[in-house]
Chains A and B, each alone.
Chain A
């Protein structure tokens, strides 16, 4: 029976394997679980990334953060700098699946899988994440917005690996990620929203808003961002941003929700995400995960 497997400790060996046609497996919580669900069969040849030390971990750099591709959701959710300064990422990572999913599932896998409902994508888009991908031929940096190419599709070539995600520091911002969920845990976002805002006194001077499970890829919504800038970010402004984002959304109907319900709920989650981000920018405490803290928030 075919099927080759390699589990290197050096990144160079992993890149040689992808160049030779091996598919990467990190936690396997998408790749292997999908085979158990009968969605696809396991790729013939695999290279496991979990023993490569240099791919894992979160490093504070002079300008921000560098997060290794195999960093787990649990490590993202627990990291003090992420919780304090890139809070929406912690909101997102802390509600992925169950404790087991969060310990085994990785950031690189979440991005490479490119689900329109992926939890970490919205916060990372709003924080202008740059993705470093590498092959035996060298490395290149891709803005996260240019990585997603449709549901389940990315611009990462099959011989390349995502090695890290880089974030620059945005001074004085407040952020939050909120998803609509039918249950608290083991859920996939029905719809989700991220907001990242900066204030000058009481006025919003910068706003980034992304929508999740509301378009073929997770994406930002410029009309809602423009509308929020210059306002006080209060209930009316948050509701207006929600209304505009819902209008711009292009959701689908599936087993979890109809298109109409998703669009209606888009307005609600965007409003909550904006409310949470504004409150955090003002220094108020909204416990992580914001989804649970802002449930029912007007």
Chain B
């Protein structure tokens, strides 16, 4: 059976018709054209597909799109305000936290969830917060530094 539901992604409503087995990631990329979220492993190991659902991080490759219907979904496309990058995005650029960029959307989403719950994390807390996200390029040091610097930036902005 197919079900007509509404997905709320980055504050925009998208009506979609879905079969039960469709994963949220396949709908975001395949139906809505939101290709920021990536498919790495497709089974909850790498975090490249991470999105926020009602503010909580979720591996969208392994989450049923129907379970996300009506909830607030945030993807990496929803982080910037217009052409102004989110402080985390800016910090990733400045700290060399991006090489090939494949893990970056998921890293940014997990980092967003981390800073929302813990605005001033220690290095260990940052590493734990990003533990569901794999990066095969950077060695993580730049990513941790970027999250730390964005945390300071966001604290000053408040």
Residues of B bordering A, CB below 8 Å: 1-3, 19-21, 23, 42-45, 47, 50, 56-59, 61-64, 66-67, 69, 110, 113-114, 128-129, 131-133
Residues of A within 8 A of B1 (CB): 1-5
Contact call B67/A28, Cβ cutoff below 8 A: yes
Residues of A within 8 A of B63 (CB): 28, 32, 104
Asked whether A185 and B131 contact (CB < 8 A) given A3-B19, A36-B42, A99-B113, the answer is yes
Interface extent on A, as a size class?
Answer: 20 to 34
Please measure, in the bound complex, the distance between the C-alpha atom of A101 and the C-alpha atom of B47, giving whole angstroms: 11
A103's partner among B58, B128, B133 (CB-CB below 8 A) is B58
Which of A42-50, A239-247, A263-271 faces chain B?
A42-50
Contact call A25/B64, Cβ cutoff below 8 A: yes
Contact call A3/B20, Cβ cutoff below 8 A: yes
Residues of A within 8 A of B67 (CB): 7, 25, 28, 48, 50
Contact call B132/A100, Cβ cutoff below 8 A: yes
Residues of A bordering B, CB below 8 Å: 1-5, 7, 25, 28-29, 32-33, 35-37, 42, 46, 48, 50, 97-101, 103-104, 184-186
Please measure, in the bound complex, the distance between the C-alpha atom of A184 and the C-alpha atom of B124, giving whole angstroms: 11
Residues of B within 8 A of A1 (CB): 1-2, 19
Contact call B20/A46, Cβ cutoff below 8 A: yes
Task: Give 11 pairs: A residue, B residue, CB < 8 Å, sorted on A.
Answer: A1-B1, A5-B66, A7-B67, A7-B69, A28-B64, A32-B64, A35-B21, A98-B133, A99-B129, A99-B132, A186-B131
Please measure, in the bound complex, the distance between the C-alpha atom of A138 and the C-alpha atom of B110, giving whole angstroms: 42
Residues of A within 8 A of B110 (CB): 99-100
Residues of A within 8 A of B129 (CB): 99
Asked whether A48 and B58 contact (CB < 8 A) given A99-B131, A99-B132, A100-B50, the answer is no
| Smallest beta-carbon distance A51→chain B, Å | 9
| Smallest beta-carbon distance A255→chain B, Å | 15
Residues of B within 8 A of A33 (CB): 43-44, 59, 62
Closest to B134 in A: A186
Contact call A29/B20, Cβ cutoff below 8 A: no
Q: Which 9 A-B pairs have the closest CB atoms?
A: A98-B132, A185-B131, A36-B43, A3-B20, A103-B56, A100-B57, A5-B20, A33-B62, A37-B43
| Smallest beta-carbon distance A79→chain B, Å | 15
Residues of A within 8 A of B2 (CB): 1
Residues of A within 8 A of B58 (CB): 100, 103-104
Please measure, in the bound complex, the distance between the C-alpha atom of A30 and the C-alpha atom of B2, giving whole angstroms: 24
Asked whether A3 and B21 contact (CB < 8 A) given A37-B43, A186-B45, the answer is yes
Closest to A100 in B: B57
